[in-house]
Structure 1
Amino acid sequence: MKYCFSKRIQKTPKSFIREILKVTQQPEVISFAGGLPNPSLIDTEGILEAAETVIKEDGRNALQYSNTEGYLPLREYIAERYRKRYGLLISSDEILITNGSQQCLDLLGKILIDKDDAVLIERPGYLGAIQAFSLYEPEFFSVGLFEDGPDTNELQNIVSEENPKIFYGIPNSQNPSGITYSREKREEIGEILSDTDTLFIEDDAYGELNFTDEIFEPVKKYLPDLGVMTGSFSKIISPGMRLGWICAPTEIIDKISTAKQASDLHSNYLSQRIITQYLQTNDIDIHIQKIRSEYSNRCSFMTRLMDEMFPAEIGHTSPKGGMFIWLTLPQNISSQKLFEKAMEKNVAILPGYPFYVNGGGDNTVRINFSNSDEDDIRKGIEVLSDIFADTDKIKK
């Protein structure tokens, strides 16, 4: 049978991460490939208590259909947290609840991107965004990253010459690189985009996972009318509950709401009620600090082992937060071959080339540190170190 699939789905790449995760589920595999929060840091008892309270006290309503924008007390909580953390005066009308922050990207693509529109993304860029936006057949452009954020000279040139519809970026603990934008880079992006029609889509999935005491103000602070922020409860409460949100001007929220109505009517209402109850009865900041501390320790442990065991020519980022470290290998080394050799020894990594929209990156690797304990981190780094000791097997 020959099925007549749309041209757009035939052009959309599969999620490289999801395909790799299929082969890393065996218990003997040490996986640095995914981006999973550590299961030991999910507050199962607190969530169970919140769920029981919601079901017992208002179960029939919590199990009913709801409105598209999301549960008002949850939206009010998110808006108030923006005010407390960043001084942003956001109303609940500027918040819409989604099925994880990944759905944010799909909805934004639906309402903003037409075929052949210019879309700007970081280089390397988040694979989930590349896949989500690819469905709408844009022309991708990419801007390189330094240790403190985007190459603003390159950004200025692309914005001036291509007038992109959107610039999608992750200023805090970027996925895949782990890079965090400096305050100066955030201000520069605001200056470059302020007199344009380019929307900055600011993915803040990792903003709460900052290892330092420094407060990194969002780019939206410099672009109140051109800034759209997305957030997620996946990294700080539970990924399985699939709840995120979009923060945007009300005119944009209205269009997103229409697109969401055509997609799934509303996000999981029971999950919204449970998370709201959880937030009202638990100190989320204490819980987040515990996650930060654990991830900071694992990240430091992994980078120390890399410095001790890897050849000097293998570079890595030193993240200030998040869940990922980015390796840069010598140009003659293939990250795909490294992946294959590591898998033979039951260690999974993620080759970096799928994070590049216009080719390149075949000597880069994304490494996750959040989902492994210290024993597995040591074993996995030792395996990679042994492979690097015989580079002839992983040369291009």
Structure 2
Amino acid sequence: MDTKYDGIVKDIKNQLLNGYLQAGSKLPSVRQMSEKFSCSKNTVIKAYDELEKEHLIFSIPKSGYYVVNEFQRLDSKRTTIDFLSAGPDKNIMPYIDFQHCINQAIDTYKEELFTYSDQQGFYSLRIQLVKYLQSLQVFTEPERLFIVSGSQQALNLLVSMPFSNGKKNILIEQPTYFGFIESANLHSITTFGIDLSMDGIDFDRLEYIFRNNDIKFFYIVPRFQNPLGHSYTNKEKKKIVELAEKYDVYIVEDDFLGELDPNTKSDPLFSYNPSGRVIYIKSFSKIFLPGLRIATIVLPPKMSSHFSRYKFTADFNSSVLSQGALEIYLKNGMFQSHIKKIKELYFGKMKHLQEACEFFLPNNTLYTKPASGFYLTIYLPEHVAAKQIVQLLKEQHIFVDDASRMFLPEYKKENLIRLSISQVEDNQIHTGVEKLAHCITLINSKRSATSQYKIQLL
């Protein structure tokens, strides 16, 4: 049974939801609310304090309580099925826990917040990150870590800066993360591709490219790759590192979803050559809070000064508040608890997605089968264009991604659809895949009817 305190909180929230209270609106006084709900003034103050903690209202001494911002209506969101968005599930993001860490960071780092900090990143945060990375089999020291404003910044800097091997070109998996392709294009870097499937890559081809194409580094996503969801075996990772060492090629390892790996014996490429051949990047955008804009990169010591110069020209140092809050979040154990939750969540969602694909997709439609992660790719029949499917589903408020932007021009395929499970509701997965399958069948039927009509004309 709701108390009068609960009734006040619900009343204010309903007014916000229905648009009766706008940003800046003044709430009824404590006396007015106590009369309306026939309760003590202390009950009203307690309810208002709760709403203030949730950042829905704020108080001005000797003036009253006011609305911070109106609620956004969620009606349209409820009618959509989102296989497109690739940020973390909003229902499991640790807003309240991290809010405590931000508040504590403000108290702890009052002076640092308003001055320039260590360009390499808070040393105390780097210590915590070294401890955390050990759980991912990345053993290093704080002096080799740089804090960057998201992994995209790290990748962009690595694309543009010279490497000690004196080479100029880059190798990438095909397909791969489109943000990296954009960076390479903007810097006019010659970029080679190597075909990737769920069976992996052709190692003879990899060795040929390493030997003959002046490769500065090989950009690789070893676990739950975007967009395929592919993961390399430990044996394959070791072989890649050996070839890179043999031909003086650096490896840039983007391990952005490594925490989701259900295989506890799976290692990063970094573990096979921790001395400096592998440059390791760990982002917190997908597994934690994208708006935090914090990632870390582990560099070989001889690259630190060059990277530092390029980082300086980008932003001098990354957000001090974000660094301080993340340090506290790592130190107090909240992060490990959060990782445990998301690991179970995304594993379950991926399992449901594959079950739906198995049940609904036509027999001639193949799809990848990652063990976990965010992404699964559907290979449409050759005559079915991804853009057609995207448009048909969009008309039904179902959003999927055309993976053609994830290819270099000479590798481009127009029949790949990427599905992301990170923000789709679990109970919408089967419905979304069923409608996707219906679109494929519809296009197939139209093609068959057209072909039959041409045959009759002949």
TM over 0.5: yes
Distance 1:263 1:393 in 2: 53
d(CA) in 1 for partners of 2:361, 2:371: 21
Q: Residues of 2 paired with 1:282 and 1:63: CA distance? A: 27
Among 197, 202, 217, which residue is 2:267 paired with? 217
Asked if 2 retains the 8 angstrom alpha-carbon contact of 1:69 and 1:95, the reply is: yes
Equivalence for 1:256: 307
Aligned counterpart in structure 1 of residue 438 of structure 2, from 369, 374, 386: 386
2:155 to 98, 105, 127: 105
2:221 alignment partner in structure 1: 170
* Alpha-carbon displacement from aligned partner over 1:131-166 (angstroms, at most 9, x marks no partner): 112221122211112325322121111112213111
Residue 180 (structure 1) aligns with: 231
Instruction: Give the residue type in structure 2 aligned to 1:155.
Output: L
Contact preservation (8 Å) 2:101, 2:326: yes
- SS of the equivalent of 2:194 reads strand
Instruction: Specify the SS of the correspondent of 1:362.
Output: coil
Matched, 1:361 2:443: no
Whether 1:279 aligns to 2:351 is no
Contact map agreement 1:338 1:394 (CA 8 A) in 2:
no
Question: Percent identity over the alignment?
Answer: 25
Query: Is the alpha carbon distance of 1:55 and 1:394 closer, same or farther for their aligned partners in structure 2, counting shifts above 3 Å?
Result: farther
Instruction: Note if contact 1:173-1:180 (Cα within 8 Å) is conserved in structure 2.
Output: yes
Deviations 1:92-111 (A, max 9, x none): 11100011111111111121
Task: Work out whether residues 149 and 171 of structure 1, in 8 Å CA contact, stay in contact via their aligned partners in 2.
Answer: no
1:94 aligns with 2:144: yes
Residues in 2 aligned to 1:256 and 1:108: alpha-carbon distance in whole angstroms: 8
Deviation string, structure 1 residues 341-363 (Cα, Å, up to 9, x no partner): 11111111111211111232211
1:268 and 2:319 aligned: yes
Q: Is contact 1:353–1:359 with CA below 8 Å preserved after alignment?
A: no
In the alignment, structure 1 segments of 5+ residues that lack a partner are: 1-24
TM-score (norm 2): 0.77
For 1:17, the equivalent position in structure 2 comes to none
Map of 2:13 onto structure 1: none
Q: Which amino acid aligns with 1:370?
A: S
Q: Distance in 1 between matches of 2:160 and 2:310?
A: 7
Secondary structure class of the residue paired with 1:42: coil
Cα deviations across residues 214-245 of structure 1 (Å, max 9, x unaligned)? Answer: 23211122233221011111123211111001
Seen in structure 2, the aligned counterparts of structure 1 residues 255 and 95 have a Cα distance that, compared at 3 Å, is same
Residues 1:153 and 2:212 are matched in the alignment: no
Deviations 1:39-87 (A, max 9, x none): 111111110111111223432333432121001111112222333431x
Q: Does 1:190 align with 2:262?
A: no
- Aligned equivalent of 1:72, options 123, 128, 138: 123
- What are the residue-to-residue correspondences of 1:1-396 with 2, within 5 Å? 27=77, 28-86=79-137, 88-112=138-162, 117-210=168-261, 212-223=262-273, 224-357=275-408, 358-392=410-444
Q: Deviations over 1:166-197 (max 9, x none)?
A: 11000011111100001111011012111222
Is contact 1:30-1:346 (8 Å) kept? yes
Q: Which shows bigger deviation, 77-86 or 311-320?
A: 77-86
In the comparison of the two structures, how many residue pairs are matched? 368
| Counterparts of 2:299 and 2:316, CA distance in 1 | 19
Report the residue type matching 2:272 in the other structure.
Y
Higher RCO (CA 8 Å, separation ≥ 6 residues): 1
* 1:47–1:319 distance in 2 versus 1, CA, 3 Å: same
In structure 2, runs of 5+ residues without a counterpart are: 1-74, 448-458
Superposed CA RMSD in Å reads 2.0
Q: 1:63 to 1:40 in 2, by over 3 A?
A: farther
SS of aligned partner of 1:40? coil
Aligned-pair distance for 1:382? 2.2
Change (3 A) 1:288 1:148: farther
1:104 to 1:394, Cα distance in 2 relative to 1, 3 A:
farther
Distance 1:139 1:295, change over 3 A: same
> Aligned partners of 2:389, 2:247: CA distance in 1, in Å?
43
Q: Is the 8 A contact 1:166 1:199 kept in 2?
A: yes
Q: 1: CA distance between counterparts of 2:386 and 2:101? A: 44
SS at match of 2:191: strand
Partner of 2:455: none
- Is contact 1:243-1:271 (8 Å) kept? yes
| Alpha-carbon contact 1:125-1:355 (below 8 Å) kept | yes
Rounded to whole Å, the distance in 2 between the matches of 1:276 and 1:333 is 49
Paired with 2:423 and 2:342, the residues of 1 have a C-alpha distance of 12
Deviation at 1:298, TM superposition (A): 0.8
394 and 320 in structure 1: CA distance in 2 versus 1, 3 angstrom threshold: farther
CA contact (8 A) 2:128 2:331 kept: no
Query: Do the aligned partners of residues 380 and 112 (structure 1) sit closer, same or farther apart at CA in structure 2, a change above 3 Å counting?
Result: farther
Offset at residue 268 of structure 1 (A)? 0.5
Q: Which amino acid aligns with 1:149?
A: G
CA contact (8 A) 2:198 2:228 kept: no
